[in-house]
């Protein structure tokens, strides 16, 4: 059973945590201004500025910040500072009972995919795939559409993605409905064989990634295929694959060829071209709510992820 977190209100306090990689201070400062312009206050996790190699603090410190924010009644929502690496290292340290008892908006993507999957499958909480404070909002060209869609945290609204946002291409025709799950391909694949192995049965599977060569995408899609995750899905939503073209086209399959190899013979609707992922704009969508993809109208409709 899915659980929708409550809406935000003007004047609420929103927590910023860094559950993965370390942040750059100047980018965080710029991103905080974007968050505050929504009419909310910001409270930083105690370890947001920490650095432990390629991590924003030790596993215990990063998990503590998330646990504290879910436990803190003053904090009404949590936005991740950035992705990078490390979310999967803290899933066993999270207090899922508190998360279950005090549902809140959790916003992030990329490496945060592991948290989305673990939290949703262990507690039922709807979480949100979308821009982060330092890595997106901290950029000088943060898109207006990305900003406008953050209003969905204040007023429950269905997200309707059409070709007015970006060019969409059909790989397999059809129409399907189901809870929307997934996120970053690398992280989705890394859940296989773990207690948080992604469940795709009857669901729309979202996939996106960045800086991966076609042979790497091929390898990960093959692993998902062999694990049965592709054939179990009701449909596949292909988000942005930034900088994933072959470095040497003469000795490589193209990104599009890899997609055709794995998806063309699946008897479920599949569309590509969604600005969801490492892109600008980066469309915020709830994960875990019911969604419908229709290739005839080239639309993806995702039910509201918060409750009034």
Nearest alpha-carbon partner for 184 in 261, 241, 254: 241
The question of whether 110 is a catalytic residue gets the answer: yes
Nearest alpha-carbon partner for 181 in 226, 224, 135, 242: 224
CA atoms within 13 A on the CB side of 192: 17
The question of whether 116 is a catalytic residue gets the answer: no
Pairwise CA distance, residues 65 & 130, whole Å: 20
Pairwise CA distance, residues 180 & 202, whole Å: 10
Q: In angstroms, what is the C-alpha Rg of the chain?
A: 18
Hey, what's the torsion of the CAs at 170, 110, 7, 139, to 10 degrees? -100
| Catalytic residue of the set 87, 110, 135, 146 | 110
The pair of three-digit structure tokens given for residue 172, joined into one six-digit string: 């397999």
DSSP per position, 212-279 = --HHHHHHHHHHHHHTTHHHH-SEEEEEEEET-S-SSGGGS--HHHHHHHHHTT-SS-EEE----SSS
Catalytic center residues: 110, 208, 278
């Amino acid at each position: 059973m899915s659980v929708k977190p409550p809406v935000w209100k003007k004047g609420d306090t929103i927590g910023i945590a860094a559950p993965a990689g370390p942040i750059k201070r100047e980018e965080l400062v710029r991103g905080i201004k974007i968050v505050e312009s929504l009419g909310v206050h910001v409270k930083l996790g105690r370890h947001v500025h920490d650095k432990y190699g390629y991590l924003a603090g030790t596993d215990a410190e990063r998990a503590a910040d998330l646990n504290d924010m879910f436990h803190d009644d003053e904090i009404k929502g949590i936005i991740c500072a950035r992705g990078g690496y490390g979310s999967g290292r803290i899933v066993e340290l999270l207090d899922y009972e508190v998360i279950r008892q005090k549902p809140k908006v959790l916003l992030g993507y990329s490496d945060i995919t592991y948290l989305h999957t673990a939290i949703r499958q262990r507690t039922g909480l709807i979480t949100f795939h979308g821009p982060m404070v330092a890595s997106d909002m901290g950029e000088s060209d943060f898109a207006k559409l990305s900003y406008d869609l953050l209003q969905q945290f204040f007023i429950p609204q269905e997200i309707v993605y059409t070709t007015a946002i970006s060019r969409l291409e059909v790989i397999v025709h059809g129409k399907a409905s189901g809870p929307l799950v997934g996120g970053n391909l690398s992280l989705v694949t890394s859940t296989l064989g773990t207690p948080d192995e992604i469940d795709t049965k009857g669901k729309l599977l979202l996939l996106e990634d960045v800086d991966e060569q076609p042979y790497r995408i091929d390898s990960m899609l093959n692993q998902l295929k062999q694990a049965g995750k592709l054939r179990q899905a009701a449909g596949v939503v292909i988000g942005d694959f930034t900088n994933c073209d072959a470095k040497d086209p003469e000795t490589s399959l193209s990104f599009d060829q890899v997609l055709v190899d794995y998806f063309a013979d699946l008897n479920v609707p599949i569309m590509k071209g969604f600005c969801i992922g490492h892109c600008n704009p980066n469309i915020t969508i709830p994960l875990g709510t019911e969604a419908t993809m229709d290739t005839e109208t080239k639309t993806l409709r995702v039910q509201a992820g918060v409750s009034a």
